[in-house]
Amino acid sequence: MSGILGFLRGCARLVARGNRAYYAWLGVLAAAILIGLLAYAHQFRTGLIATNMRDQVSWAFYVGNFTFLVGVAAAAVLLVIPAYVYEWEPIKEVVILGELLAVSAITMCLLFILVDMGRPDRFLHILPLLGSPNWPHSMLTWDALVLNGYLALNLTVVVHILYKGYRGEHYNRKLIVPLVLASIPGAVSIHTVTAFLYNGMAARPFWNASILAPRFIASAFCSGPAVMIILFQILRKTTRIAVKDEAIFKVAELMAYAMFVNLFLLGAEVFKEYYSATEHLLYTQYLWSGIGPHRALVPFAWLALACSVSAFLLFLVPRTRRNFVTLNAGCVLIWAGVYIEKGMGLVIPGMTPDTLGEIYEYRPTATEWAIAAGIFGVGFLVFTVLVKVAVPIMTGTFQAPDRAADHPSPGKSAAVA
């Protein structure tokens, strides 16, 4: 117990120390969280009428962000597979950073669902044993189970590896390797069940397609690694952690394959809708060409497609994929493309027109933007705190006092081997 308390005290000291840039970053995150809390207090007091969601469009900005972030969390598996299935060392050295990002992303996912429910106590209703969900028939309950299970899985791996690294000991392979390998189907399941939330609704033809789950997974392997590539570069410039170029380039190569699959599945879905030209085409038409004067989403749809295609071309060519200027540009483009595709391009057309044929043009309010900023602030704060603790352990500069003398530099082997 004394060792755990010493570890926690040491973690608190690490988080409290930093340079001016670090404190400025924490100040920015604190301001974003405060703005989000004030906006949520307004929404809690007045109800969801503070948002632009109505009976016609009851899922919107919050659910779009939730869906996108599930993909970011699932993308950690793109590091796990080459690291632990193929034992590729350059990726294995940074796989724990992907686990940290997954923890942060799932935290934001759960917060977006919480604010979308209106009242916090409603969150309990979807949890088995604690609440009274319609389980196992409710897909929302299944989604809550897999998301919380995936969060617990990643937290267990991260905490065990970091604590063992702090103690100068090797992690328990019999415990961690099965958990890490279990995170592969776990990552697939969180996005698959999220897709089932959509395509299980027969009354929403835009979502009622079996191709939606593989589309979700393919797009997740585009957007999530794009975030990781940028973070890897920031961390190796601001910390002592070494992230090899070959690890970054391998992730970029895997992203190129995922981008092709994502674009192919999107094209297959658009072809099916326009070629069959049934009455269900109306929802796809609203997204890509508009219905009469209702064209709010059309510019965003084509912008998302342009971003995704441009990023795919940049990642497809080895020369531009290995140039950090074009690589980073591609990461920003694919992030923007998938963010729009899974936000406005997925949620809003599924509910427009509504089941009675009415078209309600939804746009997020300032309250929704502020709450989203606060949730992203919480997510970035969680990731910052985790990295602030993980990096010294991985580099061997933060160890238990009784172990430091005998093991002067175990961080790398203990934390990531």
The C-alpha atoms of residue 380 and residue 29 are separated, in whole angstroms, by 7
pLDDT > 80? residue 132: no
pLDDT > 80? residue 5: yes
> Picking from 30-44, 174-188, 290-304, which range would have the lowest pLDDT averaged per residue?
174-188
CA-wise closest residue to 90 among 248, 231, 225, 255 = 248
User: Which residues fall within 8 angstroms of residue 112, CB to CB, at 6 or more apart?
Assistant: 62, 63, 65, 66, 69, 372, 375
- Alpha helix ranges (H) inside 47-138: 61-74, 77-80, 89-92, 95-116
What percent of the residues of the chain are helix, what percent strand, and what percent coil, each to the nearest 5? 75, 0, 25
pLDDT > 70? residue 411: no
pLDDT > 50? residue 336: yes
Q: Mean of the per-residue pLDDT values for the chain?
A: 88
Which fold would CATH assign to domain 17-395?
Answer: Formate dehydrogenase/DMSO reductase fold (1.20.1630)
The C-alpha atoms of residue 289 and residue 256 are separated, in whole angstroms, by 28
* Percentage of the chain exceeding pLDDT 70: 94
Residue 314 confidence class, pLDDT cut points 50, 70, 90 = very high
Neighbouring C-alpha atoms within 13 Å toward the C-beta of 252: 31
pLDDT tens digits, one per residue of 352-384: 998 888 999 999 999 999 999 999 999 999 999
pLDDT > 60? residue 406: no
